[in-house]
């Protein structure tokens, strides 16, 4: 049991009743003020009688007796409500309690540490739901509902000046809150899902009937969280300051792609207490299929002779698309040539990044089991030269001009792509272009060497 005192409970109850009373008294006090200014004796008497009745209504013993004996019987409490699915449903609400954790990536009512309690029924009795949600201890976050369900000792004598009555009211409140039902009922207006219980359910007619209810507590938590983010004073100030040159600028939150579902029309209180507090609105987050982009992971086959193949083409997709745009142009200006060089640089960067990935992720010596051209083995498996027994590999890697072979392989590969892509222009990709691609690759190699990142980045 938490260290909450009886005085805390009594103070919280007294403050609730005073607040409820003040709401009703405000219009009557305005009427009284007008009547006194007009010196209307009859009106003054009528208003004073109304004020007296209101004060009697919200006296502890009177209000609690009405709440326990009438309101509690007229309300149907739960975290999941039937009327959220159809406003005319007469199905039961359900109190959901499940401490099992959901798989990563999924959220539900059990994700929340504490579920707000919703209620519907006679709208005139809804203040009882607000009463149960009264915060007793700010530090622990405990409400009257929590204490009632715990049979907390601090509740002794809190609901009436007569101990016996207080105990009886507490029992009725707990029964209403628990909403324990051995056979909850549904309604023809609620949706139903038939879940097959066996593999041949269609033949044996063996199904479990599922009746989804509106997750009122969860939608309420989402509604409050989004509103706190969107309409907080700090967020509002930061958003307003963007238009002021002299104001201090700060980041602010903007949430797009939100839809609003309206329940209950002009009378959301007929749906539930929480729905009424939200003005009938519930936020809907985007429920869209994912945008799947093809993921072509580069992999080396033991039988391939070179990495300059179609698989590499996919890895260089962006740079090649940029180059294709330039080739389609008939211009031959300085700007056009700069754009072509930029596209080639993108392609080379993509290739060198891929080479670096292979060099870092593959275990040294992996190329011994592959049919790659030796020049490409020298390139992609440089750590093999440090392995004991690979002295010949190390010596040839140092003595041979294998980088020249890489330059040539790249140039042939790129020219072949362009000829296939633009068959009508295939004769344009001749020795001059081949030589240019060789030079570009050589420059890229030198640049990577100057950066101190090995032969290739």
pTM: 0.57
Query: Which residue, of 249, 284, 319, is where some domain finishes?
Result: 284
Alpha carbons within 13 angstroms on the beta-carbon side of residue 177 total: 26
Instruction: Please check whether residues 334 and 427 belong to one and the same domain.
Output: yes
pLDDT over 50 at 452, yes or no = no
pLDDT over 70 at 85, yes or no = yes
pLDDT over 90 at 60, yes or no = yes
Instruction: Please check whether residues 167 and 229 belong to one and the same domain.
Output: yes
Look at 54-68, 181-195, 245-259, 441-455 and tell me which has the smallest mean pLDDT: 441-455
How would residue 421 be classed by pLDDT, with cut points 50, 70 and 90? confident
Alpha carbons within 13 angstroms on the beta-carbon side of residue 248 total: 3
pLDDT at residue 296, rounded to an integer: 57
> Which residue bears the tokens 């909450």?
4
Instruction: Please check whether residues 26 and 151 belong to one and the same domain.
Output: yes
Please give the structure tokens belonging to residue 348: 């080379």
Query: Which residue, of 239, 268, 284, is where some domain finishes?
Result: 284
Q: Are the CB atoms for 139 and 99 separated by under 8 Å?
A: no
pLDDT at residue 335, rounded to an integer: 77
Instruction: Please check whether residues 239 and 277 belong to one and the same domain.
Output: yes
Q: DSSP letter string over 15-42?
A: HHHHHHHHHHHHHHHHHHHHHHHHT-HH
Q: How many domains does the chain have?
A: 2
| More reliable by pLDDT, 151 or 247 | 151
Query: Which residue, of 241, 267, 284, is where some domain finishes?
Result: 284
Query: Is residue 297, in this structure, part of any structural domain at all?
Result: no
Look at 212-221, 243-252, 354-363, 382-391 and tell me which has the smallest mean pLDDT: 243-252
| More reliable by pLDDT, 337 or 229 | 229
Burial class (CB in 10 A: 0-12, 13-18, 19+), 389: exposed
Instruction: Please check whether residues 280 and 314 belong to one and the same domain.
Output: no
Phi-psi region for residue 207, left (φ > 0), alpha (ψ -120 to 50) or beta?
beta
Instruction: Please check whether residues 267 and 316 belong to one and the same domain.
Output: no
Instruction: Please check whether residues 366 and 275 belong to one and the same domain.
Output: no
Query: Is residue 368, in this structure, part of any structural domain at all?
Result: yes
Instruction: Please check whether residues 221 and 343 belong to one and the same domain.
Output: no
What average pLDDT score do residues 301-311 get?
A: 89
Query: Is residue 294, in this structure, part of any structural domain at all?
Result: no
How would residue 293 be classed by pLDDT, with cut points 50, 70 and 90? low
Instruction: Please check whether residues 232 and 322 belong to one and the same domain.
Output: no
Q: DSSP letter string over 384-413?
A: GGGSTT-HHHHHHHHHS-HHHHHHHHHHHH
pLDDT at residue 449, rounded to an integer: 53
d(CA 258, CA 255) in angstroms, rounded, equals 7
pLDDT over 50 at 455, yes or no = no
What average pLDDT score do residues 361-379 get?
A: 90
Question: How many other C-beta atoms can be found within 10 angstroms of the C-beta atom of residue 299?
Answer: 8
SS3 175: helix
Share the mean pLDDT of the chain.
86
Per-residue model confidence as pLDDT tens digits over 118-149: 898 888 888 998 899 899 998 888 899 989 99
pLDDT at residue 345, rounded to an integer: 87
How would residue 362 be classed by pLDDT, with cut points 50, 70 and 90? confident
Helix (H) or strand (E) holding 129: helix 127-132
Look at 10-14, 28-32, 209-213, 296-300 and tell me which has the smallest mean pLDDT: 296-300
Question: For residue 381, what are the domain limits?
Answer: 310-450
Look at 159-163, 270-274, 452-456 and tell me which has the smallest mean pLDDT: 452-456
pLDDT at residue 439, rounded to an integer: 82
Query: Is residue 292, in this structure, part of any structural domain at all?
Result: no
């Amino acid at each position: 049991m938490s260290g909450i005192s009886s005085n805390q409970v009594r103070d919280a109850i007294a403050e609730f009743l005073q607040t409820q009373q003040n709401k009703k008294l405000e219009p009557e006090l305005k009427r009284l003020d007008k009547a006194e200014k007009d010196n209307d004796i009859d009106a003054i008497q009528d208003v004073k009688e109304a004020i007296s009745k209101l004060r009697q209504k919200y006296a502890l013993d009177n209000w609690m007796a009405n709440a326990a004996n009438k309101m509690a019987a007229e309300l149907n409490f739960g975290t999941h409500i039937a009327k959220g699915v159809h406003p005319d449903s007469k199905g039961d609400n359900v109190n959901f309690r499940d401490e099992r954790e959901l798989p990563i990536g999924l959220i539900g009512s059990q994700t929340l540490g504490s579920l707000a309690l919703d209620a519907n029924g006679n709208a005139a009795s809804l203040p009882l739901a607000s009463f149960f949600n009264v915060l007793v201890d700010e530090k622990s976050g405990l409400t009257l509902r929590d204490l009632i369900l715990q049979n907390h000792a601090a509740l002794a004598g809190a609901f009436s000046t007569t101990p016996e009555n207080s105990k009886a009211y507490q029992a009725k409140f707990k029964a209403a809150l628990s909403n324990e039902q051995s056979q909850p009922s549904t309604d023809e207006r609620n949706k139903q899902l038939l879940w097959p219980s066996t593999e041949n359910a269609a033949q044996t007619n063996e199904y479990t009937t599922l009746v989804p209810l509106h997750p009122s507590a969860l939608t309420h938590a989402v509604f409050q969280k989004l509103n706190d983010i969107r309409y907080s004073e700090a967020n509002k100030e930061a958003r307003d300051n963007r238009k002021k040159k002299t104001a201090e600028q700060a980041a602010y939150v903007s949430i797009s792609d939100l839809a609003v579902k309206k329940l209950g029309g002009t009378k959301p209180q007929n749906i539930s207490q929480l729905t009424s507090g939200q003005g009938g609105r519930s936020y809907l987050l985007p429920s869209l299929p994912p945008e799947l982009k093809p993921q072509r992971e580069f992999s080396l086959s033991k039988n391939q002779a070179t990495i300059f193949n179609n698989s590499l083409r996919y890895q260089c997709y962006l740079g090649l698309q940029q180059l294709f745009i330039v080739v389609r142009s008939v211009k031959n200006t300085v700007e056009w040539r700069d754009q072509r060089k930029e596209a080639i640089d993108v392609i080379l960067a993509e290739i060198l990044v891929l080479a670096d990935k292979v060099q870092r992720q593959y275990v040294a010596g992996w190329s011994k089991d592959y049919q790659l051209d030796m020049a490409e083995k020298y390139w992609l498996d440089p750590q093999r030269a440090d392995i004991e027994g690979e002295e010949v590999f190390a010596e040839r890697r140092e003595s041979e001009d294998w980088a020249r072979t890489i330059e040539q392989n790249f140039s042939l590969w790129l020219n072949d792509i362009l000829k296939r892509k633009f068959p009508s222009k295939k004769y344009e990709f001749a020795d001059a272009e081949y030589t240019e691609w060789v030079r570009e690759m050589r420059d890229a190699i030198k640049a990577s060497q100057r950066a101190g990142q090995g032969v290739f980045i």
